[in-house]
A = this chain, B = another copy of it.
């Protein structure tokens, strides 16, 4: 009986968790002990607001910026929280669809989130230009150009160039959130907006949640001098600084472990899981469904027939022990009714096949 119940455990494609199997537990155990033993009192004490200096320098060198412009945050979204706070009551452009947590953060800061359309090549520059054309300049644009959450889409190189041009023409601040960029299992990486633009108008946030471990809560934000001093004040007011211990642990891991090999492990696993999901969707979904084809990241975006109500589908799916996130969660206003997001990083290929098969059964009616 227990094995039957076990077989009907819920298979969740809802949350954006990295695979447990891809967290370098043994290495981090060693690094944790080494970090405390070498310099315990400092590792365990209050530290600078901006972050542990060697970690800031490591991040800065990667991005070719001054370490004094790198703020270590509790995961990449804390940078978004600070920008929302800085522009409280303002207006921000977002991709439609976009990651749901930033939408909640903006709403909590009384910031209007104005949607800009996207397609398979990412944010549509023509739609962006239109959004910039009329009315007051928005306070910033929030974008995830690479392996976007929820769509898995990547902004094409050509559009990246155009977006940078538009940010210059309209003196538009852009927050480029890039937590997934290194988790690429196929294709070549385009330059980041931050690299293309030089960092005057593009602020850049990322984290080690996908490449080391999310439980550490270590991310970062790089922004221009104009914004940086204000961001430091907001960080100090929020929580003094990110855990000294977590920062040091990340630093020891980054500088003393074979991170390249670990990234290859993650990318291989996620590529395999993407393929398992893609194959299962082809095998099981009825006609009228399509989905994106990301070369990395954790998510794909499914578009159903125009009469699909993904929220109603979810309610039935939960009864059948399979979960996903309905599309409407990712739109600031209306939209997404016949879409849903599937996460493929957090389930084994076997569970992916099994879960998609359950889900497809419901889609068939």
Q: Which residues of A contact B (CB under 8 A)?
A: 15, 17-18, 20-21, 23, 25-26, 28-30, 32-33, 35-37, 40-47, 73-75, 77-78, 81, 101, 104-105, 108, 213-217, 234, 237-246, 249
Does A81 contact B239, Cβ atoms closer than 8 Å?
yes
28 A-B pairs within 8 Å (CB atoms) are namely A15-B46, A17-B46, A18-B45, A23-B41, A25-B36, A25-B44, A26-B40, A28-B36, A28-B44, A29-B32, A29-B36, A32-B32, A32-B35, A32-B36, A44-B216, A45-B213, A74-B239, A75-B239, A81-B237, A81-B239, A104-B237, A108-B237, A213-B245, A216-B245, A217-B239, A217-B244, A239-B239, A246-B246
Does B217 contact A240, Cβ atoms closer than 8 Å?
yes
Q: Which residues of B contact A47 (CB under 8 A)?
A: 215
**18 new A-B contacts at CB < 8 Å, known A29-B36, A215-B244:** A25-B36, A25-B40, A25-B44, A26-B40, A32-B33, A32-B36, A44-B214, A46-B214, A47-B215, A74-B240, A75-B239, A77-B239, A78-B238, A215-B243, A217-B241, A243-B243, A243-B245, A245-B249
Q: Which residues of B contact A41 (CB under 8 A)?
A: 20-21, 23, 25
Q: Which residues of B contact A244 (CB under 8 A)?
A: 214-217
Does B78 contact A239, Cβ atoms closer than 8 Å?
yes
Q: Which residues of B contact A36 (CB under 8 A)?
A: 25, 28-29, 32
Question: Which secondary structure characterizes the binding site on chain A?
Answer: helix
Q: Which 6 A-B pairs have the closest CB atoms?
A: A25-B40, A215-B244, A44-B213, A29-B36, A20-B41, A74-B239
Does B45 contact A20, Cβ atoms closer than 8 Å?
yes
Task: Name the one of B33, B75, B213, B246 contacting A29, with C-beta atoms under 8 angstroms.
Answer: B33
Find the B residue at minimum CB distance from A218.
Answer: B243
Q: Which residues of B contact A73 (CB under 8 A)?
A: 239
Does B238 contact A217, Cβ atoms closer than 8 Å?
no
Question: CA of A74 to CA of B77 in the docked complex: distance in angstroms?
Answer: 15
Find the B residue at minimum CB distance from A15.
Answer: B46
Does B217 contact A242, Cβ atoms closer than 8 Å?
yes
If A36-B28, A44-B28, A45-B23 touch, does A217 touch B243 (CB 8 Å cutoff)?
yes
Does B81 contact A238, Cβ atoms closer than 8 Å?
yes
Nearest CB of chain B from residue A111's CB, rounded to whole Å: 12
Task: Name the one of B45, B74, B215, B234 contacting A214, with C-beta atoms under 8 angstroms.
Answer: B45
Q: Which residues of B contact A245 (CB under 8 A)?
A: 32, 213, 215-216, 243, 245-246, 249
Question: CA of A208 to CA of B47 in the docked complex: distance in angstroms?
Answer: 16
If A25-B40, A44-B213 touch, does A240 touch B104 (CB 8 Å cutoff)?
no
Question: CA of A211 to CA of B239 in the docked complex: distance in angstroms?
Answer: 18
Question: CA of A108 to CA of B85 in the docked complex: distance in angstroms?
Answer: 10
Q: Which residues of B contact A46 (CB under 8 A)?
A: 15, 17, 214-215
Question: CA of A105 to CA of B216 in the docked complex: distance in angstroms?
Answer: 25
